[in-house]
């Protein structure tokens, strides 16, 4: 591990705010956290007496449950709130909801929201540490961190690794966080999708942009497929799902264009037969379930470091 032992900010709002040394610190800390998950008693006292609120205004399986598990493995007290069953359905605003929760003195709030910038708004009005668990089409920092942890675990490094990110680029916070992280850590990133789903300015983020999936797959070490986000499409971006799969779906033939030891990733949830063929998703080059497992270790690392890391342990 390097010299750095703490993160500069008490919030994790995006990869945008992290320096390479901080990314390395999180990834190195996650190695130790992963070891905790191999023990018969998968629990350490690092966050004993700390309260974490999980505030999910959008559906989630992986992120919400892995944050909950990470918090429990660190011995934190946790509370969860989703839109359904809360006063949000009666019209309570995000800020009023956050202030209400703050009155109960949590130490950290993990938030997922459909609006880009929602986590930043909370960071301005709350005393608690805010962790962005996905805000609109903006960022999903812990997803990019767990993706990097998975790539580093399989390839031994991030620098120089060729990563092709393919799919619905326009609506993807996973793309944005991964591009920021991977380029910052010296990886070579190629982004591929239909011309209607390429965000303006992507080429200026240090990535090669193409509409040819064959070109994107050629020589890649990592193929990262992105979900077609129908729920965020308010217009006609795709002629049909069938045509999308024909032009942009990852098939075994396209995978064969990548390096022979290439890994296949997907943040989930997957649309099988849309962005990825089932035999590829379940094949021996797929690390999709490793990503899920690594999500727990990486989120433990983030929670631990935001709570003060080694300094907190001495408290
Ligand atoms: N990757 C991801 O964010 O999945 P969930 O929506 O299930 O949390």
Per residue in 174-183, pLDDT tens?
A: 999 999 999 9
Query: pLDDT at residue 236 above 70?
Result: no
Atom number in ligand 1 closest to CA 267: 1
Position 85 scores a pLDDT of 79
CA 13 to chain centre: 12
Instruction: Check pLDDT > 70 for residue 129.
Output: yes
pLDDT digits (tens, 9 = 90+) for 183-226: 999 999 999 999 999 999 999 999 999 999 999 999 999 999 99
CA of 63 relative to ligand 1 center, distance in Å:
5
Query: Which ranges in 107-193 belong to alpha helices (H)?
Result: 118-125, 141-155, 173-184
- State if residue 20 touches ligand 1 by the CB under 6 angstroms criterion: no
The pLDDT, as a whole number, for residue 230 is 72
Sheet containing strand 129-135, strands side by side: 77-82, 51-56, 108-113, 129-135
Which pLDDT value is given to residue 257? Answer: 98
> For residue 313, what pLDDT is reported?
66
Substitution candidate for ligand 1 out of 134, 172, 173 with most atoms within 8 A of CB: 134
What φ, ψ does residue 205 adopt, rounded to 5°?
-95, 15
Instruction: State if residue 295 touches ligand 1 by the CB under 6 angstroms criterion.
Output: no
Q: Is 61 in the pocket of ligand 1 (CB under 6 A)?
A: yes
49 lines ligand 1 (CB under 6 A): no
Q: Cα of 311 to ligand 1 centre, how many Å? A: 31
In this prediction, residues 122-128 reach a mean pLDDT of: 93
Q: Is 268 in the pocket of ligand 1 (CB under 6 A)?
A: yes
CB atoms near residue 58 (< 10 Å): 19
Residue 315 in this model has a pLDDT that exceeds 80: no
pLDDT at 98: 86
pTM of the model: 0.95
Q: pLDDT grade, residue 237 (50/70/90)?
A: low
Treating both helix axes as pointing N-terminal to C-terminal, what angle do 62-73 and 288-306 enclose, rounded to 10 degrees? 50
End-to-end CA separation in angstroms for the chain? 23
Tokens 């919030």, residue? 11
The Cα-based distances of 163 to 168, 246, 293 in angstroms read 16, 21, 21
The confidence band for 88, taking pLDDT boundaries of 50, 70 and 90, is confident
Mean pLDDT on 239-264: 94
Asked whether residue 303 carries a pLDDT value surpassing 70, the answer given is yes
Cis before 227 (ω within 30): no
Q: Percent of the chain, pLDDT > 90? A: 83
What's the pLDDT at 2? 60
pLDDT for 293 equals 98
CA of 111 relative to ligand 1 center, distance in Å: 13
pLDDT above 80 (res 232): no
According to the model, what pLDDT value does residue 71 have? 98
For residue 107, what pLDDT band results from cuts at 50, 70 and 90? very high
Phi-psi region of 49 (alpha: psi -120 to 50; beta: other; left: phi over 0): left
Average pLDDT over the chain reads 94
Which of 58, 59, 63 has most ligand 1 atoms within 8 Å of CB, for mutation?
63
**In the predicted structure, residue 267 carries a pLDDT above the cut 80:** yes
Pocket lining: 269 vs ligand 1, CB cutoff 6 Å: yes
Q: Give the E-state strand segments of the chain in sequence order.
A: 51-56, 77-82, 108-113, 129-135, 162-166, 188-192, 208-210, 222-225, 263-265
């Amino acid at each position: 591990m390097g010299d750095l032992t703490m993160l500069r900010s008490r919030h994790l709002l995006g990869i945008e705010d992290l320096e390479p040394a901080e990314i390395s610190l999180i990834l190195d800390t996650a190695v130790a956290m992963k070891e905790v998950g191999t023990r018969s008693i998968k629990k350490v006292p690092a966050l004993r007496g700390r309260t974490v609120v999980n505030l999910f205004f959008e559906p989630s399986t992986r992120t919400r449950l892995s944050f909950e598990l990470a918090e429990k493995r660190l011995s934190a007290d946790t509370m969860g709130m989703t839109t359904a069953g809360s006063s949000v359905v009666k019209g309570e605003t995000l800020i009023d909801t956050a202030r209400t929760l703050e009155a109960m003195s949590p130490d950290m709030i993990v938030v997922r929201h459909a609006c880009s910038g929602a986590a930043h708004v909370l960071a301005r009005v709350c005393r608690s540490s805010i962790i962005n668990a996905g805000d609109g089409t903006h960022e999903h920092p812990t997803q990019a961190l767990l993706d990097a942890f998975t790539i580093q675990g399989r390839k031994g490094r991030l620098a120089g690794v060729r990563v092709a990110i393919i799919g619905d680029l326009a609506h993807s916070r996973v793309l944005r966080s991964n591009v920021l992280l991977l380029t910052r850590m010296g990886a070579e990133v190629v982004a591929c999708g239909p011309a209607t789903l390429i965000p303006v300015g992507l080429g200026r983020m240090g990535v090669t942009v193409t509409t040819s999936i064959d070109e994107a797959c050629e020589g890649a070490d990592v193929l990262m497929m992105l979900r077609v986000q129908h729920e965020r499409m308010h217009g006609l971006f795709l002629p049909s799902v069938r045509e999308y799969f024909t032009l942009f779906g990852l098939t075994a033939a396209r995978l064969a264009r990548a390096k022979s030891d290439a890994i296949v990733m997907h943040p989930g949830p997957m649309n099988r037969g849309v962005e990825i063929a089932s035999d590829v998703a379940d094949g021996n080059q797929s690390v999709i379930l490793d990503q899920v497992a690594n999500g727990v270790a990486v989120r433990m690392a983030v929670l631990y470091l935001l709570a003060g890391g080694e300094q907190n342990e001495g408290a």
